[in-house]
Chains A and B, each alone.
Chain A
Amino acid sequence: MKKEQDYIQDIAEIRSMMERSSKFLSLSGWAGIMAGIYALAGAWIAWSVLGFHPDEIFYSPPDLPQIILLALGVLTLALVTVIYFSWRKSDKRGEKAWNATSKRLLASMSVPLLAGGILLVILTAKGLIGLTAPFMLLFYGLALYNAGNYTISEVKLMGAVQIGLGLMNSWFVEYGLLFWAIGFGAVHIVYGIYMHFRYER
């Protein structure tokens, strides 16, 4: 015969299982902080080393291939960091990082990210460099907003912030790199610090 305590424990387990099996909870605050730092460093290199000052929609940078290489480098570094920290965190929780919830999380992001990625290639090919920063923010924000349904809900809020920044940036195209640095740099760092203090201490 079970006791009252057991039933309270039963309910706790039901709740925990419902959450664990529907949301990916192994996102790390540190990954957000690191990704933000890479973005800030990348934006700084683009601005002062490569002389990348996109101030209008049609803009031809001094060295486009280098800018693309830099952007891909920052993206790769950020992805590797996020994957590594998520893997480490889920390992600590005794779970697998590649499970039903992380698959669903990625699937929810894939459509906006893929559409946005193709759009970026088209914009770059047409010389519409000034629009790449706002559209990156916009599509990334849409992906995060979607993903917020399958992980901690703060991700949804971050998505809304990125969407807002992207929209403002499309109006004020001359501040493209600044908006990009705020969205991919500052917002990630703030989010990472918040996550770290809220969930990891």
Chain B
Amino acid sequence: MKVSFDDLHKAFESRVRLGIMSALAVNDSLDFTSLKEFLDVTDGNLATHIRKLEKEGFIGVKKSFIDNKPNTKYHMTPGGKKAFEEHLKVLEEIIKSQK
């Protein structure tokens, strides 16, 4: 397979977005606080990146209330899973082809 850097999805250029996708790939769902702790970023920063991934349709949101406090949980959509796996494949190919 011939791959080029253009095959890499723009959404995954940022390390934070890549981190969000990695964490959601191995967890059914995670809330905002857990994601923030894993990634070690600020609320605003995380929210921006989440919004971008949401707009791409890569992650989904479920809002609920726990003890009357709002709780937002994020999960990976099937489309997001597919895009993330493609991205990994391209990364792998790039590294292989340059060895």
Contacts and interface: CB of A to CB of B under 8 A. Distances in A.
A17 B40 CA distance: 11
Nearest to A1: B5
B37 A96 contact: yes
B23 A18 contact: yes
A10 B15 contact: yes
A11 B92 CA distance: 9
Contacts of A11: 88, 91-92, 95
Most B CB within 10 A of own CB, among A94, A96, A100: A100
Contacts of A2: 5, 13
Contact of B37 (A7, A22, A95): A95
B30 interface: yes
Interface string B46-84: 000000000000000000000000000000000000000
Contacts of B37: 95-96, 99-100
B1 interface: no
Interface in A10-46: 10-11, 13-15, 17-18, 20-22
Contacts of A95: 37
A17 B95 contact: no
Contact of B27 (A1, A21, A94): A21
For chain B, the bracket of interface size reads 20 to 34
Contacts of A1: 5
A96 B37 CA distance: 7
Contacts of A15: 22
B23 A17 contact: yes
Given A1-B5, A96-B37, A100-B30, A21 B95 contact: no
A128 B18 CA distance: 56
Interface in A86-105: 94-96, 99-100
B37 to A, nearest CB: 5
A8 interface: yes
Contacts of B18: 10, 13-14, 17
B91 A21 contact: no
A21 B15 contact: no
A4 B98 contact: yes
Interface in A156-186: none
Given A4-B94, A21-B23, 9 more contacts: A7-B91, A7-B94, A13-B22, A14-B19, A17-B23, A22-B26, A95-B37, A100-B31, A100-B34
Interface of B: 5, 13, 15, 18-19, 22-23, 25-27, 30-31, 34, 37-40, 88, 91-92, 94-95, 98
Report, nearest first, the 10 A-B pairs whose CB atoms are least far apart.
A17-B22, A21-B23, A100-B34, A22-B26, A14-B22, A18-B26, A21-B38, A17-B19, A18-B22, A4-B98
10 contacts: A1-B5, A7-B91, A8-B95, A11-B95, A14-B22, A14-B88, A17-B19, A21-B34, A22-B27, A100-B31
